Amino acid sequence: MDARNGHVSRYSKGMIVIHWVTAVLIVAAWFTAEGGRHVVANPPLLHFSLGLAVLALTVPRLILRVVGQTPPPPDERRAWMALAAKIGHAVLYAFLIGLPLSGWYAASRLGVPVSFFGISLPTIAAPVQGAPGMIADIHENAGTVILYLAGLHALIAGWHHIVLRDGTLRRMSPL
Ligand code: HEM
Ligand code: HEM
């Protein structure tokens, strides 16, 4: 608790654990990704599982976000900064939901069986012959865009912490 205003000064333990596990999963999903024909011949099952784990964690994360307490912006005088952070985080959340769903869709269109660490999942689109379509293309690009966004997000967090000295990293620190 922050004695100043009765608000919490950090994210909850659950939010912090999910944040860092998700960051590791995204990087691992990126490294295990494959594109094109190779996916049909030899489906990257680990890529699917890691990516679906992101989705599986984002659902409880959003629930925790809504029901729990979130630390208020570090500097209430800078309303524009709080708004920018809100928009930036909303964009990241949109990727955390949209990316795994579009991947699942792409795999379904390619006719590739999807499983989550050995558990078979249903397809969410009918398989097609040939190219899997626009959503699959979007998935392939968005999979890399999220890494850039996360990098920018990390740089901004570092800037807050080191230049503005507002203790931002402490809000998400597991220690
Ligand atoms: C793929 C990687 C990452 C994703 C998808 C991600 C996503 C997010 C999201 C969605 C939030 C908003 C939490 C909320 O208010 O509900 C957040 C907060 C935060 N993230 Fe990340 N993050 C990633 C990596 C990182 C890294 C590498 C750092 C550190 C350098 C970092 C530092 C933080 C901090 C300090 C906050 C709290 C910001 C605040 O209090 O306003 N994140 N992250
Ligand atoms: C959430 C984290 C994810 C990230 C960061 C991610 C990233 C990527 C990237 C970068 C590619 C392009 C690889 C290349 O062209 O060499 C790709 C392709 C692909 N991913 Fe993901 N992905 C994620 C989740 C998923 C999930 C959950 C599934 C399926 C259940 C999936 C299925 C696919 C498929 C089928 C392709 C090939 C699409 C095509 O060839 O048209 N991905 N992914």
The domain locations on the chain are 13-171
- 52, 104 in Cβ contact below 8 A? yes
The type of residue at 121 is L
* Ligand 1 pocket test target in 31, 172, 173 with most atoms within 8 Å of CB: 172
Q: Residue 30: what pLDDT?
A: 98
Query: How many angstroms does the Cα of residue 85 sit away from the middle of ligand 2?
Result: 27
Rounded CA gap, 173 and 73, in Å?
Answer: 16
Please list, in sequence order, all residues whose beta carbon lies within 8 angstroms of the beta carbon of residue 131, skipping any fewer than 6 positions away. none
| pLDDT by 10s per residue, the chain, length 175 | 444 456 789 999 999 999 999 999 999 999 999 998 889 999 999 999 999 999 999 999 999 999 998 998 887 678 899 999 999 999 999 999 999 999 999 999 999 999 999 999 999 999 999 899 999 999 999 999 999 999 999 999 999 999 999 989 999 999 8
Helical residues (DSSP H) of 32-133, grouped into ranges: 37-41, 45-67, 79-110
Token code pair at residue 102? 């579009």
47/133 Cα distance (integer angstroms): 20
Q: How far is CA 103 from CA 63, 98, 137, in A?
A: 23, 8, 10
Coil vs helix vs strand at 20:
helix
3-class state of residue 116 by DSSP: strand
Q: Which residue has the tokens 């629930």?
A: 63
Ligand nearest the Cα atom of residue 86: 1
pTM of the model: 0.95
> Domain 13-171 adopts which CATH fold?
Fumarate Reductase Cytochrome B subunit (1.20.950)
Centroid of ligand 2 to alpha carbon of 23 (angstroms): 16
| Cα(123) to centroid(ligand 2), Å | 15
Q: Is 52 in the pocket of ligand 2 (CB under 6 A)?
A: yes
What pLDDT, on a 0 to 100 scale, did the predictor assign at position 5? Answer: 53
pLDDT of residue 64: 95
User: Other C-beta atoms within 10 Å of 70: how many?
Assistant: 15
Ligand 1 center to residue 155 CA distance, Å? 10
Joined together, the tokens standing for residue 90 give 């909303």
Please identify, by atom number, the ligand 1 atom nearest to the C-alpha of residue 173.
35
Q: Of the candidates 93, 90, 103, 102, which has an alpha carbon nearest to the alpha carbon of residue 32?
A: 103
Q: Which atom of ligand 2 is nearest to the CA of 132?
A: 41
62 in contact with ligand 1, CB cutoff 6 A: no
Is the CB of residue 15 below 6 angstroms from any atom belonging to ligand 2?
no
Asked if residue 43 lies in contact with residue 156, where contact means CB atoms within 8 angstroms, the answer is no
Q: How far is the CA of 153 from the centre of ligand 1 (A)?
A: 7
pLDDT, position 162: 95
Identify the pLDDT of residue 6: 64
Alpha-carbon distance of 87 to 100, in angstroms, equals 21
- Residue 172's pLDDT is what? 96
